[in-house]
Amino acid sequence: MNPLSGVFGEAWELYKGHWRHFMAIALVVFIVLALVGILLAWLLGWLGVIIGVFASIAGTFWLQGALIQAVSDVRDGRADLSVSETFGKVRPKLGTIIVAGVLLGLAIAIGFLLLIIPGLYLLTIWIAVIPAIVLEDRGIGEAFGRSRELVRGHGWNVFGVIVLTFLILIGVGIAIGLVLSPLDEWLASLIQQIVWNTIVTPFVVAVWALVYYRLKGREETEATPAPEHEPAA
């Protein structure tokens, strides 16, 4: 049985029930990164722009970690943590998240340059790296190994989720582009960036966080010994 069956539907229900909470978290990161980028560019010129790009990359993984924590929080049907408390839970692991995320991104990017397939393979086996850091407090090396351990035996199912996610993102991107096409290019780009960061990203993170929970649940089920039957009287 596919442990990831219905994961998009579950993620959608979770997203619909808590979209304000998810969007608030995403909006905080987006505003902080935008202000930091503007300030760096104003103070340092082109050097500030370059530093701002690296800050934006780090911020992407900060957002991913916070959203994974938020998904974990609301799986019982309610948000027990406020936005600030969610960021507070992630803050001690932020360095580990950023370093692991950069390594992950570099490896997958190189894999995509090598005819795409290696990149998809690495993305598949390492889909649970950031959840392992956030939810299991794993170190960098441990998180990569833990993700591969969870995915083992379910690689094609995870791969299917990743491909479907990309197809959804492409479809959403085309739809947004068509809606914004009458606007000036700079304004359309700004609005698309806001929509992407605050609306689309939380749903994608919710899907991939639930992939982690589904795989972890299957692992626990498989590890539970079957009850022994008492001998007949």
pLDDT bracket for residue 173 (50, 70, 90): confident
pLDDT for residue 230? 52
The answer to whether position 75 is within a domain reads yes
How many separate domains does the chain show? 1
Residue 223 has pLDDT above 80, yes or no: no
The rounded percent of the chain whose pLDDT value lies above 90 is 33
Per-residue pLDDT reduced to its tens digit, 90-101: 989 988 998 888
Whether 154 is covered by a domain: the verdict is: yes
Distance separating alpha carbons of residues 106 and 112, to the nearest angstrom: 10
pLDDT score of 18: 92
For the stretch 1-57, pLDDT in tens is 778 888 999 999 999 989 999 999 988 888 888 888 888 888 878 887 787 777 777
Residue 125 lies in a domain: yes
Instruction: Compute the distance between CA of residue 26 and CA of residue 23 in angstroms, rounded to an integer.
Output: 5
Q: How far apart are the first and last CA of the chain?
A: 36
The pLDDT, as a whole number, for residue 142 is 93
- What's this model's pTM, rounded to 2 decimal places? 0.84
pLDDT of residue 233: 45
| Structural domain containing residue 42 | 7-219
Instruction: Please indicate, yes or no, if residue 232 is contained in any of the structural domains.
Output: no
| Whole-angstrom distance, CA of residue 106 vs CA of residue 98 | 12
